[in-house]
Chains A and B, each alone.
Chain A
């Protein structure tokens, strides 16, 4: 059998393929994004990006009701957006199997909170599987589809960043070919959730969870490994690997299904060991339920509620010795930065100059909060910037209102920002919205969206016309600007900020990372005329990674700017900042 090294995400895509999945739908979000970027390589799976997670899940629900197996993937915060259909889907159940992947991010490697989505499985009353390596990612995805149909329920599959993005060896299997052909079947009592029908379904949901908990006792994915029985550890996911590494002699109960918990199995395991522990990242999800069974167990007394675990953190928690390490040096940090030639840079420079109060959002442009641009004052969740601008404007003085500007990307605007703009117009907010349209979902690695003109399967598609869209929402003042033109950017911003009505400014330069032909075009690199550079540092105020300050080397504070010709895209922003005409196009 063929063995490959796959990431957890690649393995989930493979598992969906092998399970005979027909439809895969998602909104990109780290660490889940690569699942759909891999299902698209299997021509049997119709893969698509949805404008947001709620729509993605609804598409998957439709595919399932039509009789096809469907996969829907998102990062942990995406489930908040998809929660509305999810909770009722739990009542309707499925036709073709439906698997919802939640990719959680303990340690917040690229997220704004650390929510533990095992709570969602319990809250929505749906089973949840949690794989511990890439092979399990593939196998559990297949199993999730089977359980989904067997128990008439959506099944959640939970990964964490370390599972999604780590790679291990996977044995490949064949695609299932014995599944029924999808077709329309009417069944209103099951699929129309009005109160009368839903009341009938609720007891079935409760019964299903009880049945699954009982079945869990004999499921192979819930595995007891008895070694030294003085210590017994209940664990799941990547924590199982850390436990095996840190405490190789301890007995373990490795849970592949984390909701509902196999209560009988937990009781049996607890009776077999002298001292029982739960090792889990984030919330005491397993621990509290074990305690509710009346079993004495140690968990969060030893292990933090915050952040990602590691073998080292587990060793420390259990009082074991750590290997000595070389002292860390204090070094300059290396934070992420907007790319050279990024079209957001000019906008944030102008907002900084205008001392705007900027309600921000989630995307590359969130980096606008960092010095030297330092032009973002809030960041909560996808699509929030516009509603927040409305809210801030409701309470501050007339003078301060003029300072309020919402920034939002193209993909984020279509995700959940558009609702905020409707509200802004409807309720007569005076705020200014800047739609940073770089024609791609850049932060997660350049995924297409309804404003890019292409689908995930690379078919040409309608490209949303933002000025027309905003006009139809009732926005009267719509300006399209070139964000590389600092004077225009600043003057348009100043005019629209002063206007006591809703206005939208749209920037129209693409992301430098868009590889599609004819979208982003690199210009000739700029260079600094050394004899004209006075060392005033004005060009450093935009924080471009292509511009470096080179000290004179005589111990003084003097120096000159240098532009790296390999990094410079010729965007022209730095030239406009130089009062001494020292920056120009290279030869």
Chain B
């Protein structure tokens, strides 16, 4: 078993299914035989605030949070939130992001502008950057709300976890009626995990 800890961050906006994606990821890692810890702050984030979920796995994990500058993979559900969490990522870390912009209140009200050139900024700091159209792939799978599972599929390519564990984890964590769509979404994301947008 690999002795070092793998640090994964899942970031986005409340309501995007980040917590469920983190649950599936943790479950897959457990099934693969690792120690795992997962942490996020909910409460206020239910009202459309920023959400950051930390998942860490290895042979023995202590802190439930990823220390600043030590993240291996930043898994962004929304572009501005991806950008906000870059300081958590280590130099040379990987960014897998959904090509989606969700305006925060100040932008909705026309007081501030949604920042331009985010993808260029991310690429400048982190050349290992995969940008995906999660909404489009999720629609192909049958439900635009499964974008979280598409992204999980893409991230799964970067992790040394056998495919069977991912599928078992999805079966355990996703409600029955949404299971087939989510499996399809995961596999679509997984097969697109090597190509960039």
Give the interface of A toward B (CB within 8 A): 3, 5, 30-31, 109-110, 133, 161-162, 165-169, 238, 241-242, 244-246, 310-312, 315, 322-329, 331-339, 364, 367, 372, 444-445, 537, 540, 543, 545, 547-549, 551, 559
Which one of B59-67, B149-157, B178-186 contacts A?
B59-67
Q: List 10 A-B contacts (CB under 8 A).
A: A168-B37, A238-B64, A241-B63, A325-B68, A325-B87, A335-B49, A543-B109, A545-B48, A548-B108, A549-B107
A31 x B64 contact (CB < 8 A): no
- Other-chain contact of B48, A325, A334, A559 (Cβ < 8 Å): A334
Q: Report the bound CA distance from A245 to B42 in whole Å.
A: 24
- Chain A's closest residue to B104 (CB) is A334
Please name all residues of chain B whose beta carbon is closer than 8 Å to the beta carbon of A367 when the two chains form the complex: 47
Q: Is A332 within 8 A of B115, CB to CB?
A: yes
Any A CB within 8 A of the CB of B91: yes
Instruction: Verify A323–B70 contact, CB threshold 8 A.
Output: yes
Q: From the candidates B39, B43, B49, name the one contacting A162 in the complex (CB within 8 A).
A: B39
Contact among A169, A325, A335, A551 with B69 in the assembled complex (CB-CB below 8 Å): A325
Q: Which of B63-109 contact A (CB under 8 A)?
A: 63-65, 67-70, 80-81, 83-84, 86-91, 103-109
Using a CB–CB cutoff of 8 Å, the interface residues on chain B facing chain A are 13-14, 23, 26-27, 30, 35-50, 61-65, 67-70, 80-81, 83-84, 86-91, 103-110, 112-115, 121, 125-126
Nearest A-chain residue to B46, judged by Cβ: A445
Closest chain A CB from B82 CB (angstroms): 10
- What are the 10 A-B residue pairs with the smallest beta carbon separation, nearest first? A549-B110, A336-B47, A110-B43, A323-B69, A166-B64, A166-B39, A325-B69, A30-B43, A334-B104, A244-B62
Contact B105 A551 (CB under 8 A): no
Task: List the B side residues contacting A364 at CB < 8 Å.
Answer: 47
B109 CB contact (under 8 Å) in A167, A246, A311, A372: A372
B14 cross-chain contacts in A, Cβ below 8 A: 336
For B70, give the chain A residue with the smallest CB separation: A323
Please, which residue of chain A has its CB at the minimum distance from the CB of B45? A336
Closest to B42 in A: A165
State A332–B81 Cα separation when bound (angstroms): 10
A169 engages B83 (CB within 8 Å):
no
Query: In the assembly, what is the distance between CA of A548 and CA of B109, in Å?
Result: 6
Q: Are A335 and B36 touching (Cβ within 8 A)?
A: no
Contact B121 A329 (CB under 8 A): yes
Given contacts A161-B41, A310-B67, 12 further A-B contacts (CB under 8 A): A166-B38, A245-B63, A312-B69, A323-B91, A325-B68, A326-B86, A326-B126, A329-B84, A332-B112, A334-B48, A336-B47, A551-B110
What residues of A have a CB within 8 angstroms of the CB of B104 in the complex? 332-335
Residue of B nearest to A242 (CB): B63
Kindly report which residue of chain B lies nearest to residue A134, judged by CB atoms. B37
In the complex, the chain B residue whose C-beta lies closest to that of A338 is B47
| B112: chain A residues within 8 A (beta carbon) | 332
State which of B43, B61, B87, B110 has its C-beta within 8 Å of the C-beta of A326.
B87
A445 to chain B, nearest CB (A): 7
- Of the candidates B38, B84, B91, the one whose C-beta lies within 8 Å of that of A324 is B91
Q: Which residue of A lies closest to B37 (CB)?
A: A168
Complex Cα distance, B114 from A77, in Å, reads 38
Report if A332-B106 is in contact (Cβ < 8 Å); known contacts: A109-B44, A241-B62, A325-B87: yes
A38 to chain B, nearest CB (A): 15
- With both chains docked as a complex, state the minimum distance between the C-beta of B24 and any C-beta of chain A, in angstroms: 11
Chain A residue at minimal CB-CB distance from B144 = A566
**Is B49 in contact with A310, judged by CB distance below 8 angstroms?**
no
Report the minimal beta-carbon distance from A99 to chain B, rounded to whole angstroms. 23
Residue contact B44 to A5, C-beta cutoff 8 Å: no
Q: Say yes or no: A332-B69 contact (C-beta < 8 A), given A311-B63, A545-B105, A547-B108.
A: no
Q: Which of A31, A162, A323, A331 has the most CB of B within 10 A?
A: A331
How many angstroms between the C-alpha atoms of A491 and B148 in the bound complex?
Answer: 46
Which A-chain residue is minimally distant from B14 (CB atoms)? A336
Contact of B115 among A310, A331, A336 (CB under 8 A): A331
Contact A167 B87 (CB under 8 A): no
Point out which of B43, B65, B87, B110 has the most chain A C-beta atoms below 10 A from its C-beta.
B43
Residues of chain B contacted by A326 (CB below 8 angstroms): 86-87, 89, 91, 125-126
Q: Is the CB of A312 within 8 A of B68?
A: yes
CB-based contact B67/A245 at 8 Å: yes
Chain B residues, CB < 8 A from A331 = 80, 83-84, 115
Are A310 and B63 in contact (CB-based, < 8 A)? yes
**CA A319 – CA B64 in complex, angstroms?**
22
Hey, which chain A residues are within 8 Å of B87, CB to CB?
325-328
Complex: A110 Cα to B42 Cα, angstroms: 9
Chain A residues whose CB sits within 8 angstroms of the CB of B115 once the complex forms: 329, 331-332
Chain A residue contacts of B42, Cβ below 8 A: 30, 165
- Residue of B30, B42, B63, B84 with highest tally of chain A CB at under 10 A: B63
A172: min CB distance to chain B, Å: 13
- For B46, the chain A residues whose CB sits under 8 A away are 336, 445
CB-based contact B83/A329 at 8 Å:
yes
- CB B161 to nearest CB in A, in angstroms, measures 15
